[in-house]
Structure 1
């Protein structure tokens, strides 16, 4: 040995310096060898299959020529105690074995059986994995084919139609060219139009004042909807006016005024008559308030109040009249007196004043009383035709261009006879904006005919054109009043938006309620403008307005949002109802407040309706249940897609999709048992029937099985699966309590694990693929439970001091049961988690 060691040292180029030097060299060599990679090194292990190792070994053999002289290896191994002759012998043996494996077909009979079995097992596992991947790929392809089988030509045609592209359609031997708008209305915007995703920047929760205003209006709207639903009377105008009076908030003066105008006009469809009446009452109220502030002589009659007004408004500080050429009788300008009595709506009083002062009229004015009596006594405040031409002649000859004429006389003649409509203003008199509107209203002729001369044609549309041509800058902060008084309600809402969006929204609601708004037909709702013109008429996009407003609080107050969205249907049209329904769908899907909006299911299975269902009389539903079912099912699908399982459970129950509920519950229960360790309980003290799958399943089965109507809607296999899973839960409970014998009895009762003999094991293995996925996921744990119970019982029996034939027979029976389980497990092992079979083998070995 020493000689071999010396030769080895010499062959390595090391001089013999004594045993101490050689020991040192070999120590260094050993120390260095520790740095070589090992299975525990940070480089990790090389995981290669047997076939791959063979392939690489063969490549190495081809590259390296065999040498009979082992030289350095011979000397290097000399100190290890392994003779080189033994190594060479082992190499020759391996070569001969390789030849045997290559030349002998049944190499497992002559070669290394263990190696072959391991190789075979690896190949089986790889084959199973490949089959699973191929099956999954095939299933995916089938899914794609079934769900994405699109007719692209049809889709292309639909897209063209939706964008209004003219299409050529062939019918038989004819080719017709149709506009898509004629063939079918545009569908873009109809679905997913984003009614609640407007461009409003309002935030009702921005500050305390805004929030308080929002809540105040919300209460009014709730009361309004209650009244609509119950058929009772409710005046939104009066409620809001009272809120203005009681509020400490600084409001723009136009807003309360607009509500007063609407309150006055709500029972009158005639814009001209209602505005005339409002302006006259407003003026008389002003005259009365002015009269109260000043000490006046005489009785407080309307005539005296107007006379007092004239004294205060038409005189200068030096008590002289502001206007020259006034016809003054007994200290009163008579024509101004008649004018302002008419302005206050006191027509009869004006006539009496005219009659009492007839002697003061000039010669050219003598026929005035005749005209005025006819005017006052007519129902529609019109002159009879026989007087019209005479009055116009006198006006043009004596009144219109009189240099010393009373300016109020010209105004009275113009109003009574609708004279000189080419110049509708009375420039010689200082008028307020309200006076100006009143005069124009008095000049309007409602029944204009084509036979009327052009200079006599002046209707409401003409006056509205005058107002809009002047615009907001002309009316000095009164533009909202002007628009309301002239019937331009759509523009009034639009202008109110620039003042305060919350007030504007509620003004639009009140106007729509009284049928005073032209409401968009929603076909052009893709337009960004709030007000559009269609067929020469202005229309307001009420859905856009309410959607924009609701956007600011749909998440914080979904119940109130629902109240506002029902108002989209105020117009009472079919399309308005459809858009209202769509807006409610958006609200449900975006806020996910399913319990509030759609309802919930009690523990006993009874259904509590949500706020949408409570308001169904206001939604113009042709089929209430169909609408609720569709909106609920759509929400359920969305929740399912988003992975919100418990939300989808609630929604499918509300949609009466009980079979889907059972399937979801089965999956939840199966996943819970698969993902919960056997040493853990499936129920905790803080679990409830809303979140724990076990409690949910028990509640569902209890309600569904006992309700015959519901039970008929459930697939029997799904119901049986749920019942069977609950039995597995009961088995888990017994197992957790370590009641081994009772657990085995319950496992045998559900008949999923082979208890009888080997034949039953094979039969159960064949039946495995026909079981539902939820049940198959429970099989591995059931096998472990069964084998554990057998192991524990056998261990207990073996440690028992009492010996008997019955005890021996019981142990043997348990071992046969274990054997059956292992046969069954061996047949389905590749369909179970990898570690399950190892656990079962260890349990079997322990027996």
Structure 2
């Protein structure tokens, strides 16, 4: 027992001096303690309460050696610079000071049980917080070590791949673990072979005129695809020609005539015959228009129109003939007359003119009528073999080198007998480019055989060689027409690209549709050649042409982009079909216009198809659903990787991956519940069915549960998780409204928090690891909600003026519930955020 006798002032003074010496000693000790291990070491921290120090000191005193034996202390303090005697003196002084303070305050703490219990509880709280902090620090260190222990060479390769740098994959036994991507799926960061990433700089939205042309063409292509899908005829060339016939932009350009050539040749497989008849009709139209401007006497027959043209073409202004050695019969140059009738395709009329004027033929020309009649009446307008050698003999002896010969007679003989093919031009007659083309087509023989003499061999390929050797410098603004009429369609497309890329693309589409184009295999976007030559024939990279064009509007007009990309498979070639499908995948992944391209899902779960599905019959699909599923699933994975959760939800629904949909929704809902402050509402006024996880979950679970076909595709665990999370939403709503009793009842209903006793707490703690991550993530908030509800209900009961046994019983029950929760929380505290346990302890303190 301490004495109650007052302490004198002298005693205070004496003790004050002693304390100053002790303070200096302990100051040195504190300074030396800086050499002890810090909190960053593996030894942990030293944080003991005063009572704990007192208890341990008492235990040490019991085990201490006799007084004066400070051997171990000497070892401990050897490096501190302190004498053990000074430390002992300081400890004795500290005892004296403690004794003085006890006498002054007149308190006996050893017997103060309440103070001890309160202190013990504070120590437990501090200890829990310290353990949480230490555990969190260690967890963080482990996380950093695991996360950033990277293979930097692998990371470098991934980065290079993401930027499109091609890497040579390690195969076989290089490392034993390398795996190649599935060939059906584009690699991460890329969308395939880059069909839509060409080198074209075209921008269809550059100006009003370009945009207008683009839209007019797009309308035609849409109608073209509609016709193909419905199975009715559609003349693409005619439609385009008529659409742009009145366009000011097309006036004076090569394209209108080009479309007329294609339209004329669309159903013909004979280039020579088709081009020849086109040129003949073109010439006859010209003659007809000229006749209308210069009306002459007589009936407007074709013969009279050609006669009028000759007067216009071959006469000088002074009414003399331009050629002095023409054979004139009744005021008409007879051989020129026959020549231009043939030029207009009027072979029958030319024969009639020859017969009517046979008496005017010279002696050396008398047999010509026989040859010409045989020629004009033959099926293919070819001179029969029995007359060929005779005509050639007469030509070589009398016609070829005649000094005063009619140049048109020479031309007619060459046409009828295909004479002297070593010299295919008639230098003495001025011919237009169209006349020159027609003349060569008249000389070409398609069925050349090995038995034919070399000097009589002249086929289409020979003529094409002449055209390409001349090039654009010889034909100038008519080069496109010459290429088309010569059957050099690939060169025509390439040349048209230099004139106008939009027109060239549609020229190629029309030619491909009519099977006029040789189409090459598409390799990659790095293959910059639009035109190539393979085995002596030109080929056009049709997929690249369409890909380049589509690139310019794939973001602004994805629906129209589909209309063009499906044309890659226009000819049904297997390689082109594959490229077409790949281009559509690229379009989906790059534009992310999933609703337009792939469709959407109605409120009742039904699907509305996108434009790709609407055009499925034009895609040559062996399995439509498999293609759509694959393209949709790939897009869904890409959206998921990019963090576009709502896009991935739509796409997984379109791909019928309903279990994945529910799993994503559960994660969204769980994140919302766990990350939203308990004092904040889960739903805002501006939330809608497309962005709110709560509303999305309600809508989907309603559809999936009620639709048996869909429900079978969703795992029961994911459905149960979703339903439970929606119940947690209801709990949060009641909690936010401060309906404590209602919220507590709802927590009890979901049966994830122990409400009974310590046994249930242990059982629930054991079951914690088997909970889905989405539910486990929300256990901390549910514990806080439960403890908060209990705390508020107990407070309300305590504030009540009525006292009864049932009230006391209710309070005890609530405290038992709180105790169960705290036992449960203590068992799983390291699986919860570190602040959760502290919050729970604070709530328990106020019960």
TM-score (norm 1): 0.83
1:612 paired residue number: 612
Task: Tell me by how many angstroms 1:246 deviates.
Answer: 2.6
Contact 2:196/2:548 (8 A) holds in 1: yes
Q: 2:82 aligns with which of 66, 71, 75?
A: 66
Task: Tell me by how many angstroms 1:114 deviates.
Answer: 8.5
2:495 paired residue number: 495
Cα distance, 1:136–1:656 mapped onto 2, change above 3 Å: farther
Deviates more, 1:357-366 or 1:704-713: 704-713
1:814 paired residue number: 814
Cα distance, 1:625–1:89 mapped onto 2, change above 3 Å: farther
Cα distance, 1:822–1:741 mapped onto 2, change above 3 Å: same
1:562 paired residue number: 562
Q: Which has the higher contact order (CA 8 A, sep 6+)?
A: 2
**Counterpart Cα distance in 1 of 2:150 and 2:654:** 32
2:290 paired residue number: 290
Equivalent residues in 2 for 1:91-170, closer than 5 Å? 122=130, 126=134, 130=138, 152-154=170-172
2:665 paired residue number: 665
Task: Tell me by how many angstroms 1:536 deviates.
Answer: 2.1
1:649 paired residue number: 649
**Counterpart Cα distance in 2 of 1:61 and 1:768:** 50
Cα distance, 1:59–1:283 mapped onto 2, change above 3 Å: farther
1:31 paired residue number: none
**Counterpart Cα distance in 1 of 2:541 and 2:697:** 48
**Counterpart Cα distance in 1 of 2:393 and 2:42:** 123
Cα distance, 1:120–1:312 mapped onto 2, change above 3 Å: closer
Cα distance, 1:710–1:784 mapped onto 2, change above 3 Å: same
Contact 2:558/2:593 (8 A) holds in 1: yes
Contact 1:252/1:499 (8 A) holds in 2: no
Cα distance, 1:662–1:387 mapped onto 2, change above 3 Å: same
**1:700 is the counterpart of 2:700:** yes
1:421 paired residue number: 421
2:547 paired residue number: 547
Task: Tell me by how many angstroms 1:834 deviates.
Answer: 1.5
Equivalent residues in 2 for 1:310-325, closer than 5 Å? 310-325=310-325
Helix, strand or coil at the partner of 2:193: coil
Helix, strand or coil at the partner of 2:538: strand
Helix, strand or coil at the partner of 1:679: coil
Task: Tell me by how many angstroms 1:234 deviates.
Answer: 1.4
2:347 paired residue number: 347
Helix, strand or coil at the partner of 1:533: strand
Contact 1:581/1:619 (8 A) holds in 2: yes
1:18 paired residue number: none
**Counterpart Cα distance in 2 of 1:140 and 1:69:** 53
**Counterpart Cα distance in 2 of 1:514 and 1:157:** 53
Cα distance, 1:288–1:88 mapped onto 2, change above 3 Å: same
CA deviations on 1:125-156 (whole Å, 9 max, x unpaired) are: 64676478669978999999xx99x9944387
**Counterpart Cα distance in 1 of 2:352 and 2:769:** 106
Deviates more, 1:816-825 or 1:494-503: 816-825
Contact 2:195/2:525 (8 A) holds in 1: no
Helix, strand or coil at the partner of 2:245: helix
**Counterpart Cα distance in 1 of 2:224 and 2:86:** 106
Cα distance, 1:510–1:113 mapped onto 2, change above 3 Å: closer
Equivalent residues in 2 for 1:501-520, closer than 5 Å? 501-520=501-520
**1:835 is the counterpart of 2:835:** yes
Helix, strand or coil at the partner of 1:538: strand
CA deviations on 1:191-231 (whole Å, 9 max, x unpaired) are: 81100000000000000000000000000000000000000
2:199 paired residue number: 199
**1:214 is the counterpart of 2:232:** no
Cα distance, 1:155–1:407 mapped onto 2, change above 3 Å: farther
**Counterpart Cα distance in 1 of 2:271 and 2:810:** 101
Cα distance, 1:745–1:508 mapped onto 2, change above 3 Å: same
Task: Tell me by how many angstroms 1:476 deviates.
Answer: 2.1
Helix, strand or coil at the partner of 2:511: helix
Equivalent residues in 2 for 1:261-300, closer than 5 Å? 261-300=261-300
**Counterpart Cα distance in 1 of 2:503 and 2:629:** 35
Task: Tell me by how many angstroms 1:53 deviates.
Answer: 6.8
Task: Tell me by how many angstroms 1:306 deviates.
Answer: 0.5
**Counterpart Cα distance in 2 of 1:514 and 1:50:** 81
**Counterpart Cα distance in 2 of 1:157 and 1:321:** 90
Helix, strand or coil at the partner of 1:796: helix
Equivalent residues in 2 for 1:161-560, closer than 5 Å? 192-251=192-251, 253-522=253-522, 527-560=527-560
CA deviations on 1:43-97 (whole Å, 9 max, x unpaired) are: xxx9768946779x999955441158999xx9xxxxxxxx997459789xxxxxx
**Counterpart Cα distance in 2 of 1:156 and 1:340:** 77
Task: Tell me by how many angstroms 1:435 deviates.
Answer: 0.2
Equivalent residues in 2 for 1:706-745, closer than 5 Å? 706-745=706-745
Helix, strand or coil at the partner of 2:752: coil
Contact 1:639/1:645 (8 A) holds in 2: yes
Cα distance, 1:788–1:68 mapped onto 2, change above 3 Å: closer
Helix, strand or coil at the partner of 1:622: coil
Task: Tell me by how many angstroms 1:249 deviates.
Answer: 2.0
CA deviations on 1:339-379 (whole Å, 9 max, x unpaired) are: 00000000011001111111110000000000000000001
Cα distance, 1:721–1:642 mapped onto 2, change above 3 Å: same
Cα distance, 1:460–1:294 mapped onto 2, change above 3 Å: same
**Counterpart Cα distance in 2 of 1:393 and 1:125:** 115
**Counterpart Cα distance in 1 of 2:832 and 2:846:** 22
1:783 paired residue number: 783
Helix, strand or coil at the partner of 2:249: coil
Helix, strand or coil at the partner of 1:380: coil
Cα distance, 1:746–1:141 mapped onto 2, change above 3 Å: farther
CA deviations on 1:294-334 (whole Å, 9 max, x unpaired) are: 13111111111100100011011211111121000111000
Contact 1:490/1:531 (8 A) holds in 2: yes
**Counterpart Cα distance in 1 of 2:497 and 2:385:** 46
**Counterpart Cα distance in 1 of 2:613 and 2:817:** 58
**Counterpart Cα distance in 2 of 1:668 and 1:143:** 32
Contact 1:525/1:541 (8 A) holds in 2: no
Contact 2:266/2:514 (8 A) holds in 1: yes
Task: Tell me by how many angstroms 1:771 deviates.
Answer: 0.5
CA deviations on 1:701-741 (whole Å, 9 max, x unpaired) are: 11111111111111111111111111111111111111111
CA-atom RMSD in angstroms: 3.6
Deviates more, 1:798-807 or 1:241-250: 241-250
Task: Tell me by how many angstroms 1:119 deviates.
Answer: 6.9
**Counterpart Cα distance in 2 of 1:783 and 1:120:** 17
Contact 2:662/2:719 (8 A) holds in 1: yes
Task: Tell me by how many angstroms 1:523 deviates.
Answer: 5.5
Contact 1:676/1:682 (8 A) holds in 2: yes
CA deviations on 1:227-265 (whole Å, 9 max, x unpaired) are: 000001211112211222232325552111100000111
Cα distance, 1:203–1:139 mapped onto 2, change above 3 Å: closer
Equivalenced residue count is 752
TM-score (norm 2): 0.83
Task: Tell me by how many angstroms 1:668 deviates.
Answer: 0.2
Runs of 5+ consecutive residues of structure 2 not aligned to the other structure: 1-8, 18-37, 48-72, 99-119, 158-167
Task: Tell me by how many angstroms 1:539 deviates.
Answer: 1.3
